[in-house]
Amino acid sequence: MILVTGGAGFIGANFILDWLAASQEPVLNLDKLTYAGNLETLASLAGDARHTFVQGDIGDSALLGRLLTQHQPRAVINFAAESHVDRSIHGPAEFIQTNIVGSFNLLEAVRSYWNGLEGDAKSAFRFLHVSTDEVYGSLGPGEAAFSETHRYEPNSPYSASKAASDHLVRAWHHTYGLPVITTNCSNNYGPFHFPEKLIPLMIVNALAGKPLPVYGDGMQVRDWLYVKDHCSAIREVLARGRQGQTYNVGGWNEKPNIEIVQTVCALLNELRPKADGSRYEAQISYVKDRPGHDRRYAIDARKLEKELGWKPAETFESGIRKTVEWYLANPDWVAHVQSGAYRDWVQTQYAAQEAA
């Protein structure tokens, strides 16, 4: 069995679905079920004995101790995190609590459990910490992509809290010998993505006839990684990655935000044309840039390819088409995650923005 924390979130839930599609090994899923945790994503696993869900917090040391002792997982994969930059700017305290204090409590519970293992079970155990490329800061237009040895320069409360968690994981390996591996990924996209992030927000707003808010000049560059490719990379790192190492996971798809929005609009024009013949691009609205907005991220994933033979299976063109098609085919899922709390958040974040 493996223990997955944050397994009702976007990446965690996709990972569990992919894992159980390819393996009979059971998954224990621990998730706090904050606004972005959604068990409806895992509805296809209802009644599947391989999936056990527990609602709980990685900050709950007693609960973690009980779960580890009872289920005896061979690995822990930590997806649990607050992850939205804009939310971290408006309310950083939750990010400090979950991403730093929560990670510390999880590491301590896992260390205690691991110390009690013996023989092959102890030597085979792994703690895999899933992190982000945002810990590296921002790149200039001509600078080389982030490698695993790039200096940490986080610029938002979110990325600073994730950087802190990465440092804790590293320290627990070097100080206590805990067998850890860290992955730092670029921007994920794909099915089941909560519609506060760029791509699903654009799809949902476009279909609803709402403005498509683009920060600043829209030329902020990100590397885009299809979520199922990310899941396959994590499986490879868990199976064959070297303990104590960091592996960057990227899609080799650097694109400015405005190009992403225009691509989504073009696909919607093709797949769900408006009855009046107008085009979705007309809904694009430039808004005031957010504070401290990083200009460019780019991931150098050659270490992962060289050591483990991993490459993304999707191009951006194939992945974004699959993503738009999924949202068009699953309006009920989208409607259900758009709770009153989510609508209030969008109103707070974007409605008050002044036009750039």
Residues annotated as catalytic are 133-134, 158
Question: What's CA 115's distance to the chain center, in Å?
Answer: 30
Calpha distance 149→344 (Å, rounded): 40
Type of residue at 93: A
- Decide if 168 contacts 107 (C-beta within 8 A): yes
- CB neighbourhood size of 100 (10 A): 18
Q: What is the 3-state secondary structure (H, E, C) of the chain?
A: CEEEECCCCHHHHHHHHHHHHHCCCCEEEEECCCCCCCHHHHHHHCCCCCEEEEECCCCCHHHHHHHHHHHCCCEEEECCCCCCHHHHHHCCHHHHHHHHHHHHHHHHHHHHHHHCCCHHHHHHCEEEEEEEHHHHCCCCCCCCCECCCCCCCCCCHHHHHHHHHHHHHHHHHHHHCCCEEEEEECEEECCCCCCCCHHHHHHHHHHHCCCEEEECCCCCEEEEEEHHHHHHHHHHHHHHCCCCCEEEECCCCEEEHHHHHHHHHHHHHHHCCCCCCCCHHHHEEEECCCCCCCCECCECCHHHHHHHCCCCCCCHHHHHHHHHHHHHHCHHHHHHHCCHHHHHHHHHHHHCCCEC
Q: Which residues contact 1 (CB under 8 A, 6 or more apart)?
A: 25, 26, 27, 28, 71, 72, 73, 74
